[in-house]
Amino acid sequence: MTIKQYIPNLITLGNVICGCLAINSLFTGDYMMVFWYSFIAGWLDLGDGLAARLLNVKSELGKELDSLADMVTFGALPGFIMFHLISESLNGQPEYLAYIGFIVAAASAFRLAKFNLDTRQTSNFIGVPTPANAAFTVGLLLIWHYGNLGLKGLLTTPVLIILSLVSSYLLNSDWMMFSFKMKNFKWQGNEVRYLYLILSIGLIPFVGWSIFGIGFFIYVILSLVFRNKII
């Protein structure tokens, strides 16, 4: 292999390292760094594919490595986050309930395995992609520790368990979800993408960090409302 063939894989490995650092930050209580490491990992996840296309060095190794990296950052990390949040919310309830959060990690692994075999998900997604679900769980973490107290009050143990189960289902559902892969920048054909950006950016002054949790629901709702336009 030439040096340029290693570049996308090195970017992918950066994703793995950021995922590990985010998990470590969760363990040490540095929750804002969980956000920043996962944020950087998200860009690296986009960057490895872009680098592979620009350098024309796509490979089966890169494809498999990408899924393994995603399992760390967008699979294991969300599972640990949900375990952490449910543990924090228990207030005397049975501690074993927190382990329900790891269902998210299992569902993410199943989705990533299916994605590698599914040839239909080229321009959009079938089921919620793991990075979107990871952003959702990181958003819940920010709401819990830094966000709106009213929203935090809604995150009771039953609600967090339901969110874990619902997000696990959505990861592997047959619902069509839009991606941000755009053939052009025209409004026509990209209505749902621009509407998502407008709504999300417009809500930031009102909800702050909570947008990373709320944005997930906006994403799912718009995907369902505009499902006939998602092709």
pLDDT at 109: 96
pLDDT at 20: 97
Question: Is 1's pLDDT higher than 70?
Answer: no
pLDDT in tens, 11-32: 999 999 999 999 999 999 999 9
The domain ranges of the chain are: 3-175
Q: What percent of the chain has pLDDT over 90?
A: 60
pLDDT at 85: 97
- H helices within the chain, ranges in order? 3-28, 31-55, 60-71, 77-89, 103-117, 130-146, 149-154, 157-171, 191-207, 211-225
The least confident of 82-86, 145-149, 205-209 is: 145-149
Residue 1, helix vs strand vs coil: coil
pLDDT at 35: 95
pLDDT at 121: 67
Alpha-carbon separation of residue 194 from 62, 68, 75, 199, 225 (angstroms): 31, 31, 27, 9, 14
Q: What percent of the chain has pLDDT over 70?
A: 95
- In the predicted model, what is the mean pLDDT of the chain? 90
Q: Which CATH number fits domain 3-175: 1.10.357.10, 3.30.420.40, 1.20.120.1760, 3.40.50.300?
A: 1.20.120.1760
Question: Is 120's pLDDT higher than 80?
Answer: no
Q: Give me 216's structure tokens.
A: 């997930």
